[in-house]
Amino acid sequence: MSNLSLRLISGAILLLIILLAFYLGPKAVIALSGIVTFLLYAEILKATGGYKDNKFILLSPPICMASAFFVANYQIILFLLVLIVVMGLFSKNLRWLRLLAFFYVFVAQYLFLTIICEIPLLLNIHQPLFLLMVVVTSDTGGYIFGKLFGKKKLAPKISPKKTWEGAIGSFVMSLFGWFLLFKGFANNLILEVILVIIVCACAQIGDLIESHVKRRLSVKDSSRIIPGHGGVFDRMDSILGATFGYSMVISFGFGI
């Protein structure tokens, strides 16, 4: 089986799991979010090696997973965040990189559940599906346009394979996805287009952030847990970046 076929099959399975979680309701979304953040933290520890100096830091993945179930309690969330930050400081090896990665994932999870999904008040299905649509079409457009037309390097020192043509393709495909599935949700096409562009740009920034970190750590993939894709971070990089951008926009009162 070719890598592309494996990539498509794995991607389809992941998409079905996400859609199933949203179909089942808030508890399933929280559980899936907790599992994902557990795996993200595990990959961070594997990449930075902090657990080799202090075994106590191995508690960070289950703590972050547990935080998904306490999004309604600000005091517990703040306590867990402080605990995660303290753990990130324990080992001197790649301390600040690990600390930033811990904080980045922890905050992204909280923003996704509370602002985008609007848990625990209810489950807003439209906003996370919009986010997912932009990320999937952005990644797809970047891959296709980059393969077919990519010549001018976007950020050769960060990600040698990223091209300007691929970046433009990401915007084109995201806007196409919006036109087919979400057009008209705000009755103002200009604002809708701006929202798609902002979320798509943040998704690409998230991708570049992970590429920069991988180059610094001299690794190709964050892990090999997902056939054809690499690790969880390799699939979540764009979603994490888009989560920050979309949460900011929603906070200004422009959600779905």
Q: Enter the tokens of residue 252.
A: 């200004």
Where b means 16+ CB within 10 Å and e means fewer, 211-238 reads bebbeeeeeeebbebbebbbbbbbbbbb
Quick: pLDDT tens for 86-123.
877 777 777 888 888 899 999 999 999 999 999 987 89
Pick the range with the lowest mean pLDDT from 9-23, 39-53, 82-96, 214-228: 214-228
pTM across the whole model: 0.91
Q: 223 falls in which pLDDT band (50, 70, 90)?
A: low
Interatomic CA distance for residues 178 and 192, integer angstroms: 9
176: how many CB neighbours lie within 10 A of its CB?
14
Question: Does the pLDDT of residue 241 top 90, yes or no?
Answer: yes
What gap in Å lies between CA 250 and CA 204, rounded to an integer?
19
**Distance in angstroms (rounded) separating the CA atoms of residues 17 and 19:** 6
Report the number of secondary-structure helices (H) and strands (E) in the chain.
9, 2
**Within 13 Å, how many C-alpha atoms sit on residue 99's CB side?**
14
Mean pLDDT, range 182-197, rounded to an integer: 89
The domain limits of the chain are: 1-24+125-256, 26-122
pLDDT at 217: 74
Q: Within a 10 A sphere around the Cβ of 152, how many other Cβ atoms? A: 11
Question: Residue 107: its pLDDT value, please?
Answer: 95
